[in-house]
Amino acid sequence: MKYKIFTLFLLLSSVLCVSNIQAQSETTYHLPDVEDIRPSDDSITIDQLIKELPESASIDDPLLFLVNRDNLLEYDPYIPFVYSENGQPYHEAMATPLAEMRAAAAEVGYYYNFISGYRSIAEQAFNYESRFNSYLYEGYSEADAQYMTDQYVAPSNGSEHTTGLAVDLLGAEFGYELYVSYQYEPSAQWLAENAHHYGFILRYLEGKTDITKINFEPWHFRYVGVEHAEFIHKHGLVLEEYIALIQERDSRQELD
């Protein structure tokens, strides 16, 4: 995988009303090269994708704040919290869209358990260590335990749950355990097909692990706003690819 590296200042603690995420003072994004972007319709060219980008799409949009294994946090950002029905904190920016999405699902008979929202760096470190130790307890070598942990658990400072803009949801009929088999449940399929209407994207798509570094997770959704989510869903992209397209567009405009 080839990566372009660029440096930018993310002014996420500014007066932007959509979010008060306080970003690191300077962030270096590692993104897939545009040549590696794979839309769901392989007849669409990169030039066409760039032309279709929403005019408002901006690297500085706090709702597009990228955190992953290649783009790590330096410290816990400031998050204005609201709380789920079971006391889970998450970013207030997605409170209304999340409520609207769950209400729409309820109208057709789907109800969801709120599994996880915000996690601090320390909490994510605990999750990672717990999963790693569970594999050691089962008899795996340290190398195998780390490999298996990395498939589904981000490092302590590499989880987008720390932005407060990610949420894990499971259909009430499925319970509280995170299994990939959840993808076959009607409630999971409803989310995958409708979440973008409310500004959410299915974050870790099947077939994009080489980019996201996380295996397919049918329960994990990320709030990015409706305009961005509609584009991402339409073209079968992941957030890394979308931001890479924005960066490529901006680079071309600078050359004009």
Tokens of 135: 């594999």
Please count the structural domains in the chain. 1
Provide the domain limits for residue 182.
3-119+159-249
β-sheet with 166-171: strand ranges across: 112-116, 166-171, 220-223, 200-202
Mean pLDDT, residues 216-227:
99
Amino acid 203: pLDDT: 99
Q: Are 110 and 188 in contact (CB under 8 A)?
A: no
Question: 171 has which bridge partners?
Answer: 112
Residue at 218 is within a domain:
yes
Structural domain includes residue 244: yes
pLDDT digits (tens, 9 = 90+) for 155-181: 999 999 999 999 999 999 999 999 999
When pLDDT is cut at 50, 70 and 90, the band that residue 21 belongs to is low
The confidence score (pLDDT) of residue 255 equals 84
Kindly tell me the burial class for residue 236, based on how many C-beta atoms sit within 10 Å of its own C-beta (0-12, 13-18, 19 or more). middle
Element (H, E) at 201: strand 200-202
**Looking at the predicted structure, is the pLDDT value of residue 189 above 90?**
yes
Identify residue 109 by its one-letter amino acid code.
G
Average pLDDT on 4-22 reads 39
Quick: pLDDT tens for 99-145: 999 999 999 999 999 999 999 999 999 999 999 999 999 999 999 99
pLDDT for residue 28: 62
Tell me the CATH number at 60: 3.30.1380.10
Give how far Cα 225 sits from Cα of 19, 110, 143, 165, 185, Å: 11, 22, 39, 10, 25
Query: CB under 8 Å, gap of 24 or more: what pairs does 43-46 form?
Result: 44/235, 46/245, 46/248
In the prediction, which pLDDT does 1 show?
52
> pLDDT-based confidence at 256, cuts 50/70/90?
confident
Residue 148 lies in a domain: no
**Predicted TM-score of the model (pTM):** 0.90
- What is the predicted pLDDT for the residue at 11? 35
pLDDT exceeds cutoff 50 at 221: yes
Cβ atoms 27, 8 nearer than 8 A: yes
Task: Flag whether 21 is in a domain.
Answer: yes
> What is the rounded average pLDDT for all residues in the chain?
91
Q: Is residue 74 part of a domain?
A: yes
Give dist(CA 12, CA 78) in Å, integer.
Answer: 10
Is the CB of residue 126 less than 8 Å from the CB of residue 162? Answer: no
Q: Is residue 66 part of a domain?
A: yes
Is 72 inside a domain boundary? yes
* 6, 29 Cβ separation under 8 angstroms: yes
pLDDT at position 241: 98
- Whether residue 140 is contained in a domain is answered as no
Q: How far apart are CA 224 and CA 238, in angstroms?
A: 11
Catalytic sites, residue numbers: 217
What pLDDT is recorded for position 206?
96
Contacts of 146 (CB under 8 A, 6+ apart): 132
Nearest C-alpha neighbor of 112 from the set 233, 205, 195, 180: 195
pLDDT over threshold 80, residue 49:
yes
pLDDT value at residue 22: 41
